[in-house]
A and B are shown apart, each in its own frame.
Chain A
Amino acid sequence: MSTLPILSIIIFLPLAGVILLSIINSDSKSGIRNLKQTALWVTCLNFIVSIVLLINFDQTDPNFQFTENYFWLNSGISYHLGVDGISILLVILTTFLMPFCILASFDSIKFSLKEYLISFLILETLMEYLISFLILETLMIGVFCSLDLILFYLFFEGGLIPMFLIIGIWGGERRVYSTFKFFLFTLAGSVFMLLAIIAIYIEVGTTDIVYLLQYDIDPSLQYIFWLAFFASFAVKIPMWPVHTWLPDAHVEAPTAGSVILAGVLLKMAGYGFIRFSLGLFPIASSYFAPFVFTLSIIAIIYASLIALVQKDMKKLIAYSSVAHMGFVTLGIFTFTLQGIEGAMIQMISHGIVSAALFLCVGVVYDRIHTREIERYGGLVNRMPLYAFVFMIFIMGSIGLPGTSGFVGEFLVLLAIFSVNTYFAVFATTGVVLAAAYSLWLYRKVIFGPLIKEDLLEILDLSYREIIILFPLAFLTIFFGFYPQPLIDIIEPSAAYLISNIANDLSLIEPTNQIESIIQMESNY
């Protein structure tokens, strides 16, 4: 265990970048280049630091590592950081995606130079744009690293501020509506979590997650707390029927905003389900599991069916995100090792694949400024490289064997099959539907005759876009064939979590509740 506060460094390095950015004079052309380079190198540096973190991470230890603990608000509310096998991957995913987001923003700026208005808007406010992203990175990493509920809530909610501005300032036509919807939906969900956190604080006397994970909260309270946390995470992940903010937000957000939204922000809720709903309220979780399954199944089928009739590329991918996150919630609430591993891998895979799909949409959007599927067709003739990477990501989205999407979905389906066959049958239809809408999208955009006039002169991937898309494509394939590194990291922590839950549940099931409460108290 090193004494260097490496998690704090990862969290606050982007903030240091914000300070750097704010002192750069951005009036001149070289100033703008300096801004871009600074932001890019800060995020790259952060990725390297997080790789150092991964190298030093002890894969056999299921407990929290690299912990830092300082007094913060009251007694019991502390600045407590740490990562385990579940959160470290999401930290790496965040730091990994950030440089691509920054790079992708350069592209849209460069291509839209022809359209004076748009370039004017972004170039003039480039500093604010990059600052928003760096602040967002700080907050997102903070979510995954915090081991205190209040600290977690702080980062979780704080992320709304930069995202609100990113969608609202640099978004599309209906950006104001979308960003308000996004903000108010997620805020309305999370405030209940805040009340539950306060109630936990008063009940237990601390909000320290490590302590709470060992503490058995009174079962009658667990149900209320679980529902409060669920309100927050269900909106964020998002589950049917509170998913409606997501397609709007995705469609209107700038490309990099969509990437972060799909790649990381949705994962915060999935992480929250694993860490809090399962870890803190196991009894309530098992009680509500069929309810979550039902909502997830509805989400998978309903979102897939809606995706089939979309005219907008981003909206289609957004609905596919809802369906994919349905698999994540299915996996989490099976309480099995495969289920949680599958959900985690599905989250990582979705983080890579859907981020890449949004980047792919961004590529063609930068060129002809439309996201309507009807306006495309026959791109393979002019853009063979693009057609190639796009295909890999479409396959990843479907969950074709050999891509990372398959590993996650397969593990989840395996787990759900062992729990309930009917749910498994319905969930599997989601895979079929995913194939339907994804292949339909791919055929419409890539194949067919190249007859649309504005497509005739379209250029293939630029050097910079290759740098962005090919690493993502490589990872999609790599984790499809060899997911072992991911599983190695996840497994000890997931197994530890499962055994904790099994302990708590075994206390409940054989006896009736009142006796078990007495039993639990006598255990202390």
Chain B
Amino acid sequence: MSIFLPILPELSIFLSAIILLILGLFVNNIKLIINLAIASIFFAIFLVLLQPIQSAFNNSLVIDEFSKVVKILILTGSLASIIMYHSSRKDLNINLFEFPILILLATIGMMIMASANDLIAIFIGLELQSLTLYVLAALNRNHLASSEAGLKYFLLGALSSGLLLFGLSYIYGFTGNTNLNLISTVVTPGNIGLIIGIVFVCSGLAFKVSAVPFHMWTPDVYEGAPTPVTAFFALAPKVAAIALAVRFLIVGFSDIAFDWQQIIIFLSIASMVFASFAAIAQKNIKRLMAYSSIGHVGYALIGLACGTSQGVSSLIIYLTIYLIMNIGVFSFILSMKNKGEYYENISDLSGLYKTHPYYAAVITIFMFSLAGIPPLAGFFGKFYIFIAAIESNMVLLAVVGILASVIGAFYYLRIIKVIYFDENKNSFDGFKHRSLNFLTHPAAFLILIFCIYPLPLINISNYAASSFF
């Protein structure tokens, strides 16, 4: 039995997913299933916190400081999306008990990704997560856009999984190992086959985190999928895939860091610059958040490109703040409804502050934070990323990043402009939703409070980075 102890959190979520699946067939009470799913996520967070540092299954899964922190971020993201689902399931026509179960299954996949230290484990985790996400994107079966999003995501996702697998097989072929620690002992500079493998794996991972030039699916899927699913896409899978990339590249290939750094630098610059320009013309707020997430991934990748301890810890800070901001923004987007109808256009927000001054102030906080204006938390995320970049002499990345953030500020400001400066159009009744308020308010509070008491997050990020360096 003790062999299963290292994967106890995953196992507990898996068991609860199976039990809930059976329960859902007999009990026609979706609220109960949602509550049980939430309880199982809390239980998993508790288990993750208790776990000792160890490795399992011949070192193919490691439970270290980094994976523990990432797992807690992933579980938080899943938790937030289940709560968002609860608030909107009836109005969005997705009143299906499978949703929380699918989220739980995807969460297992992502937790394996966070721990995976072996090429096979990496692929298993990634596929478990991806297949569930394809289903989630198409969850609203009667809705054309949702089905289209699901299909589009599936086709492109399958292609990227193929690329990834191809790359993994190259790496196995040229090193003779599947374990990352063993691979790192035989990695030598100048091994072309190995580099081809890394390029393919990076392409596959770039698709999963939607970094430019593998971002094409993101705006359509974000727009088409039901909003809680979009929120889930923006929250947990990004964190998991970036964590996977960090472990894969830094543990396995730190000896040829110079080679893969170029790939990451290109992905990062392309994402930041492209996203900041492409987002300007968007009219749909979910589409805008898609481009925003592309841009934010670009910044997070700066932390990875540094490949240093400071880089990884700044990455963790950035991802945490990104997660909190997105929880806030997406629960706000879900509040944009009136009499059961959801609004998604930016212009629907016009003059919001006249009808809901308080919520207008809250979304303003999130938007300024996303734009990286001090003293809000988003600024500190970028700040630590730039410290890491300049410390490892990547001044170009920092300069491009900071210019992109100025351009990016424009489209966040545009939302504030619509809310504050334009004539009033709609009033929303979604703000009364208790479960959404339960997400928005703590998120806004954390964004505001970070500048006063940043120490916990900094300590956590240093703790996470300590597992590699």
Contact = CB atoms under 8 A, between A and B. Distances in A.
Contacts of B395: 195, 199
A169 B354 CA distance: 11
Given A157-B373, A157-B374, A187-B409, A168 B368 contact: no
Interface string A168-183: 1100000110011001
B374 A169 contact: no
B420 A169 contact: yes
Closest 4 CB pairs of A and B: A191-B402, A154-B374, A157-B374, A188-B406
A518 interface: no
A202 interface: yes
A73 B354 contact: no
A194 B402 contact: yes
A179 B413 CA distance: 10
Q: Which of B364, B374, B379 has the most CB of A within 10 A?
A: B374
Given A154-B374, A191-B405, A194-B402, A169 B390 contact: no
Nearest to B405: A191
A158 B410 contact: no
5 contacts: A128-B353, A128-B361, A161-B368, A168-B417, A184-B406
A202 B392 CA distance: 10
A184 B402 contact: no
B158 interface: no
Contact of B398 (A165, A179, A183, A195): A195
Contacts of B364: 165
A256 B165 CA distance: 63
Contacts of B362: none
A267 to B, nearest CB: 20
A168 B386 CA distance: 31
Contacts, number: 84
A176 B391 CA distance: 39
Contact of B417 (A125, A176, A184, A194): A176
Contacts of B383: 150, 194, 198
B128 interface: no
A382 B420 CA distance: 39
Q: Which of A128, A194, A195, A198 has the most CB of B within 10 A?
A: A198
Interface string B401-442: 011011001100100110011000000000000000000000
A168 B387 CA distance: 33
A325 to B, nearest CB: 23
A191 B403 contact: yes
Contacts of A202: 387, 390-391
Interface in A52-95: 72-74
Interface of B: 353-354, 357, 361, 364, 368, 373-375, 379-380, 383, 386-387, 390-391, 395, 398-399, 402-403, 405-406, 409-410, 413, 416-417, 420-421, 451, 454, 458
B374 A183 contact: no
A406 interface: no
A169 B386 contact: no
Given A168-B421, A169-B421, A191-B405, A158 B413 contact: no
B61 to A, nearest CB: 33
A164 interface: yes
Contacts of B454: 72-73
Interface residues of A, number: 35
B450 to A, nearest CB: 10
A153 interface: yes
A160 interface: yes
B396 to A, nearest CB: 11
Given A176-B421, A202-B391, A195 B386 contact: yes
B374 A195 contact: no
B254 to A, nearest CB: 22
Given A154-B374, A184-B410, A198-B387, A73 B458 contact: yes
Contact of A154 (B353, B361, B451): B451
Nearest to A189: B406
Interface of A, secondary structure class, is helix
Contacts of A73: 380, 454, 458
Nearest to A185: B406
A175 B421 contact: yes
Interface string A417-433: 00000000000000000
A454 interface: no
Given A128-B353, A192-B402, A195-B390, A153 B409 contact: no
Contacts of A158: 373-375
Interface string A99-139: 00000000000000000000000001101100000000000
A158 B416 CA distance: 16
A202 B388 CA distance: 9
Interface string A141-169: 00000000010011101101100110011
A365 interface: no
Contact of A191 (B375, B406, B413): B406
Contact of B409 (A72, A175, A176, A183): A183
Contacts of A128: 353, 357, 361
A183 B417 CA distance: 12
A258 B245 CA distance: 50
A133 B421 CA distance: 18
A180 B417 contact: yes
Contacts of B421: 168-169, 175-176, 179
B321 to A, nearest CB: 14
Contacts of B380: 73
A442 interface: no
Contacts of A125: 353-354, 357
A154 B377 CA distance: 11
Given A73-B454, A188-B406, A191-B406, A168 B375 contact: no
A161 B366 CA distance: 12
B373 A160 contact: yes
Contacts of B451: 154
Given A160-B373, A180-B417, A198-B386, 8 more contacts: A150-B383, A154-B375, A154-B451, A157-B373, A165-B420, A191-B402, A195-B399, A198-B387
Contact of B406 (A168, A187, A199): A187
A302 interface: no
Nearest to B392: A202
A183 B368 CA distance: 12
A301 to B, nearest CB: 31
Interface string A191-210: 11011001101100000000
Contacts of A124: 354
A187 B413 CA distance: 12
Contacts of B353: 125, 128
A168 B414 CA distance: 11
B357 A184 contact: no
A169 B387 CA distance: 35
B297 to A, nearest CB: 20
Nearest to B382: A194
A32 B420 CA distance: 21
Contacts of A191: 402-403, 405-406
A198 to B, nearest CB: 5
Contacts of B420: 165, 168-169
Contact of A180 (B354, B387, B399, B413): B413
A476 B359 CA distance: 44
A157 B406 CA distance: 12
A520 B387 CA distance: 27
A72 B354 CA distance: 37
A295 to B, nearest CB: 22
A249 B192 CA distance: 57
A132 to B, nearest CB: 11
A179 B454 CA distance: 31
B413 A164 contact: yes
A19 to B, nearest CB: 13
B374 A153 contact: yes
Contacts of B458: 73-74
Contacts of B379: 154, 157
A187 B379 CA distance: 13
A327 B63 CA distance: 63
A195 B373 contact: no
